Amino acid sequence: MSATSLNFSDDSDRLGTSFASTLGTGVPTPDGPSVAAAAALVRRVAADPTRWRDLVRYGQGAERWYARLDVDPEHEVWLISWLPGQETGLHDHGEALGAFAVIQGALTETTLAPDVVPGTVRRVRRRFAAGQVRGFGYEHIHDVGNADGQPAISVHAYAPSLTAMTRYSLAENRLTIVSSDRAGVDW
């Protein structure tokens, strides 16, 4: 399937299934960033191969490849390639909301949902194939990776631009902070 034939569907309306939404925060202000705008942005960029077609490269080992396509204080856009097995690990996006669109291949997103025992969480995995758009609100925690056998390419937008992020791990189904970082690129 050529990228130009992709019809990007919007999955942003399923935010109710995310762990972040259970925290009861992250309602965008009318004048501030919105998940819908971020989803529209990645959909627009993904549907325009002239924005990314000649830029795509691939990383090595566990290191996925990425390039920033656009940035200003209000938003930033990244192009990311994913070889099979490459993944981000659990992280949030600081003060930002965002969205990603899968251009080629498929990405698997792992989110967390409350488990039976209070204070514990369980993993929820969903696969997003080429043409699908995933939006996420503030305080969204996820692990995104390529669990398929073919390389994947995606476009990601964050609003406002990323200035901080926290990495997490799960220990006995309890969320533990690994690190809190200021602006960087390995997100």
CB atoms within 10 A of CB 78: 22
**Binding residue per annotation — 156?**
no
Q: 86 near 59, Cβ under 8 Å?
A: yes
Helix/strand/coil for 149: coil
- Does the annotation place 142 within a ligand binding site? yes
140 annotated as ligand-binding: no
Torsion angle, CA of 48/125/36/167, rounded to 10 degrees? -90
Query: Residue 169: how many CA atoms within 13 Å on its side-chain side?
Result: 4
Residues 6+ apart with CB under 8 A from 111: 17, 18, 19, 20, 123, 124, 126, 140, 141, 142
How many whole angstroms separate alpha carbon 30 and alpha carbon 65?
34
Give every CB contact of residue 123 below 8 A, 6+ residues apart in sequence.
110, 111, 112, 170
Binding residues for Fe cation: 91, 93, 142
Q: Which residues are annotated as part of the binding site?
A: 91, 93, 142
